[in-house]
Structures are given as structure tokens and as C-alpha cells.
């Protein structure tokens, strides 16, 4: 059976593009972006580590101030003010830690996005899912899952239902 001439051309183009596999220039660019994103995430992880140590230190200060407050006799104005100051510093350190942790998660999301870009442009599948979560290329689902435990399940489902079916939302959030 004779095929139309354009079918042969399409088959030739498909063979050439399959043999070529990846766009190596784009692959290199995406790998460079992944490296920069990884360095940013590493810096953010260092900030989280320092913030966690600050929280521990401030917690120790609160415990110390509390022990002095318990030991004080009649007029405990100074000890009470030291305790209140230590509690305030501890709360600020906790807030700073949570902020830095959130920033790290954002940087890690960027790394994950860059990994997907590398997989696509380099035509190479990188093994993922080591964290126990299923890997996804659906950024909307990844964003929703990131807020699980921070935002109520009902709120997440309502947000999801604005653009997806109930079944898709359940799959996305499970």
C-alpha cells in the first residue's frame, strides 16, 4: 500500500528527533538553574539550622528566667520582667524559625521544579519519591499538599474544587 509522501517525511523527522533525544543546550541551562536553586536551598537550610539553634537557646533562657522567678522572695519585679522578656524573645525566635522553614520549603519546591525541567530537557528520568510522597509533575497538587496540616482539609478541598473534580481533588490531596 502506498503512503502519502508527507507520512514518510513525518517518520523521518520522528526518527531524527528520537535519535537526538534531548536539547543539550537547554539541558545544560536547566542543570545550571538547578545548581543555583540547590545552592539557594542549601543556604536556606543553613538559616533554618541556625534559627533552630536560636530557638533552643531562647528556650533555655526562658527556663533559666523561670527558675529565678520561682526562687525570688517578696518583690519579684525584676525577675518577672526578665522572664517576660525571655518569653517574648523565645516567641520571636520561634516565629523567625517558622518563617525560615517556610522559605526553605519554597526553595525546595523550586529545586523540585528545576529537577522536572532537567528531566524534560535532558530526556532523563531522575528517581524520586525518597520522602515517601508520590512524585508529581502537577504543580497545583504539589502546592495543595504543601499546605496540608497548615490549612484545613475542607479549605484545601474547596480551593481544589474551583478547578478540579471531587475525584481529582481527593487523589491530589491523598
88-145 confidence digits (pLDDT tens): 999 999 999 999 999 999 999 999 999 988 888 888 888 655 444 444 557 778 777 7
3 in any annotated domain: no
**Residue 170 shares a structural domain with residue 142:** yes
Look up residue 146 and give its three cell numbers: 504543601
Does position 79 have pLDDT exceeding 80, yes or no? yes
Look at the alpha carbons of 102, 108, 110, 113 in this order and tell me if their dihedral is positive or negative.
negative
Beta bridge partners of 151: 148
In a domain? residue 1: no
Question: Are 113 and 53 members of one domain?
Answer: yes
- Please write the tens of the pLDDT for every residue from 42-67: 999 999 999 999 999 999 999 999 99
> Within a domain: residue 45?
yes
Say yes or no to pLDDT of 18 above 50.
no
Long-range contacts (CB closer than 8 Å, 24 or more residues apart) made by 147-153: 148/173
**Confidence at 7, pLDDT banded by 50, 70, 90:** very low
Cut 0.75: pTM above it: no
Strand partners, 148: 151
* Position 91 in a domain: yes
116 in a structural domain: yes
Number of domains into which the chain is organized:
2
Residue 24, pLDDT above cutoff 60: yes
Query: What does 110-173 look like in DSSP terms, one character per residue?
Result: HHHHHHHHHHHHHT-PPP--TTSSPP---HHHHHHHHTBTTB-HHHHHHHHHTTS-HHHHHHHH
Please tell me whether residues 101 and 149 are part of one structural domain.
Answer: no
Residue 32 lies in a domain: yes
Per-residue pLDDT at 15 exceeds 90: no
* Residue 17 placed within a domain: no
On whether the CB atoms of residues 22 and 122 are closer than 8 A, the answer is yes
pLDDT of residue 141: 81
Same domain for 80 and 40: yes
123 by DSSP, 3-state: which?
Answer: coil
**Which domain does 34 fall in, by range?**
23-122
Amino acid at each position: 500500500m502506498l503512503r502519502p509522501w508527507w507520512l514518510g517525511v513525518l517518520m523521518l523527522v520522528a526518527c531524527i528527533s528520537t535519535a537526538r533525544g534531548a536539547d543539550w543546550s537547554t539541558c545544560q541551562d536547566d542543570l545550571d538553574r538547578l545548581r543555583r536553586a540547590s545552592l539557594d536551598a542549601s543556604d536556606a537550610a543553613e538559616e533554618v539550622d541556625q534559627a533552630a539553634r536560636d530557638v533552643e537557646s531562647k528556650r533555655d533562657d526562658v527556663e533559666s528566667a523561670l527558675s529565678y522567678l520561682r526562687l525570688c522572695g517578696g518583690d519579684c519585679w525584676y525577675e518577672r520582667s526578665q522572664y517576660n522578656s525571655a518569653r517574648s524573645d523565645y516567641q520571636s525566635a520561634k516565629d523567625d524559625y517558622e518563617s525560615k522553614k517556610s522559605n526553605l520549603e519554597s526553595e525546595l519546591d523550586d529545586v523540585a521544579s528545576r529537577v522536572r525541567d532537567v528531566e524534560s530537557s535532558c530526556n532523563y528520568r531522575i528517581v524520586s519519591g525518597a520522602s515517601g510522597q508520590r512524585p508529581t509533575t502537577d504543580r497545583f497538587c504539589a502546592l495543595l499538599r504543601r499546605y496540608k496540616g497548615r490549612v484545613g482539609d475542607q479549605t484545601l478541598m474547596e480551593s481544589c474544587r474551583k478547578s478540579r473534580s471531587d475525584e481529582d481533588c481527593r487523589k491530589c490531596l491523598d
